Structure 1
Amino acid sequence: MTALSFFVAGTDTEIGKTFVSCALLHGFARANLRAAAMKPIASGAAVRDGALHNEDADQLDAAANVALPPEIRTPFMMREPIAPHIAAAREGIALDIGRIVDAHRVASTRADIVVVEGVGGFRVPLDDAHDTADLAVALGLPVVLVVGVRLGCISHALLTVEAIASRGLRLAGWVANRVDPDMLYPDENIATLTKRIDAPLLGVIPHLAHRDAARAADHLDARLLLDTLHLKD
């Protein structure tokens, strides 16, 4: 049986894609599913115990209950914490989408569900001709959008939803992540997006003093996402 899988995109960088991905992984584990995670492209890595480590990838490993080999979980890892196409060019690395598709095929044989986290926003370049939207298309996965709830999030979210649709991809759901605890009228902003996004709101994660993905999972409806993923296009 082929694993369920989806691509986690964000309205921007640093809005909680990894945090939400980890929270969903905890939710899938609570549903007695074998859950694996991929971070196919990661920039910002350091050597530890003789191997390159990326913080986001390590967090995904900790939240998943199925461990993937590093070369499958993260086929491309660059050292500098900068835009991936710039980091890759500086290290002489070609970000080959086909290699990621092959890695995802392997991951899908080892778990019931595979969470694939993108890098940066939805249209971050990978090289002169491709971006992360092209990666999502090549993988052929429905998308879960993480919206960082802060000033400006409405336009960013709706533009990203349009970009997802323009690539022929299905938006399986979205998550409102309260990244700015001081934002005025966050509930009203979320309500506005709920009216305009034609996909289920999977949950609202409050701003947590400590980024505890297991606690964040309490605010997400992983079963709703599973039901959505089972729906036919």
Structure 2
Amino acid sequence: MKEFFITGTDTDAGKTHVTSLLLKLLAQHKKQAIGFKPLASGCEMAFDQLVNADALILMESATVSAKYDIINPFAFAPAIAPHIAAEQAGVTITADKLSSAYKNVKQQGADYILTEGAGGWALPISNTDYLYNWVKTEQLPVILVVGMKLGCLNHALLTAAHMQSMGINCIGWIANQVDPNIDEYQANLDSLKLRLPFPILAISPYSEQTPKLQIYKTLLENFALNT
């Protein structure tokens, strides 16, 4: 089983968009893949339960089906930081609870599990813990989604530096052009290629048509899709 954690430079970097494209890539290669969205806020009531639009997108893109509660075990209505929403709902999020939920995902029979984080890399899950500690405990290889917009250089480099300080296995980064009007897009892309300590895996250009992913060989190698 291959497992990956997809994080972003900030809240609107496009983690769901990229994770969905990666799941579809695996589907094209006839792989059994599932998405996991452990924490989600900004949920709405549907079918007598809180559901999150991003989690539903992952479910639609996956080739392995599972109940909603398996895909998104912690769902909160307010569109605020999950740990604050959890506190308001009287729910305690712990690394052990996340690991227990992750075990349920592993039991669904997928060959690939793509876990999408919430917000950016330094996401609190309580007043004393962060989601990245759970990622390290589970030893998940990380893919960093860089939202290509003003400020992306600072966000990406700070995130990468923190990952390195923790000894996180970041296998690479994906450039997601969230702003169609970003000035000097190519220059920013080149700057990131030069400065980030991880290889680029893919580029998702801005498109109002069918989303596409320009794939680099490194991504295929990490996903074992090059054979």
TM-score range, shorter chain: over 0.9
> What residue is the counterpart of 2:207 in the other structure?
208
Distance 2:48 2:143 in 1: 34
Specify the alignment match of 2:47 in structure 1. 49
Question: Is 1:220 aligned with 2:215?
Answer: yes
Offset at residue 113 of structure 1 (A):
0.4
In structure 2, what residue type is equivalent to 1:227? E
User: What is the rounded CA distance, in whole Å, between the counterparts of 2:103 and 2:134 in structure 1?
Assistant: 14
CA distance in 2, matches of 1:34, 1:46: 29
Using the TM superposition, give the Cα deviation of residue 90 of structure 1 relative to its aligned residue in structure 2, in angstroms. Answer: 0.6
Letter of the 2:212 counterpart: A
TM-score (norm 2): 0.93
Distance 2:202 2:173 in 1: 8
Q: CA RMSD of the aligned region, Å?
A: 1.5
Question: Under a length normalisation based on structure 1, what TM-score does the superposition of the two structures give?
Answer: 0.90
Question: How many residue pairs get matched?
Answer: 223
Residue 58 of structure 2: which of 57, 60, 68 is its match? 60
SS in 1 for 2:212: helix
Q: Distance in 1 between matches of 2:95 and 2:36?
A: 14
8 Å CA contact retained: 1:44, 1:80 = yes
How far 1:105 moved relative to its partner? Answer: 2.6
Structure-1 residue corresponding to 2:96: 98
Q: Is the 8 A contact 1:172 1:229 kept in 2?
A: no
**Quick check: 1:17–1:117 contact (8 Å CA) kept in 2?**
yes
Alignment-mate amino acid for residue 156 of structure 1 = H
Residue aligning to 2:31: 33
1:229 Cα offset (Å): 5.7
Is the 1:6–1:143 contact (alpha carbons within 8 Å) kept by the matching residues of 2? yes
- Deviation, 1:53, is 1.1
Listed one character per residue, the Cα deviations across residues 205-225 of structure 1 (whole Å, up to 9, x for unaligned) are 111115x4xx324x234x632
Contact 2:6–2:19 (Cα < 8 Å) also in 1:
yes
Moved over 4 A (4+): none
The answer to whether the 8 A contact 2:202-2:219 is kept is no
> Contact 2:6/2:117 (CA < 8 Å) preserved in 1?
yes
Match of 2:19 in 1: 21
SS state of the match for residue 124, structure 2? coil
Q: Does 1:176 align with 2:175?
A: yes
Aligned to 2:81: 83
8 Å CA contact 1:123, 1:132 repeated in 2: yes
Q: How does 1:75-224 map to 2 (within 5 A)?
A: 75-109=73-107, 110-210=109-209, 212=210, 215-217=211-213, 219-221=214-216, 224=218
Q: Is the 8 A contact 2:37 2:115 kept in 1?
A: yes
Runs of at least 5 residues in structure 2 that lack an aligned partner in the other structure: none
Q: Percent identity?
A: 35
- CA spacing shift, 1:229–1:29, aligned 2, 3 Å: closer
Q: How far apart are the structure 1 equivalents of 2:220 and 2:215? A: 12
The structural deviation recorded for 1:226 is 4.7
The CA distance in 1 between the partners of 2:119 and 2:152, in whole Å, is 15
**Structure 1 residues 31 and 229: alpha-carbon distance in aligned structure 2, compared to 1, 3 A threshold:** closer
Q: Which amino acid letter does the alignment assign opposite residue 33 of structure 1?
A: K
Q: Which has the higher contact order (CA 8 A, sep 6+)?
A: 1
Contact 1:34/1:65 (8 A) holds in 2 = yes
**Unaligned 5+ runs, structure 1:** none
3-state DSSP of counterpart to 1:29: helix
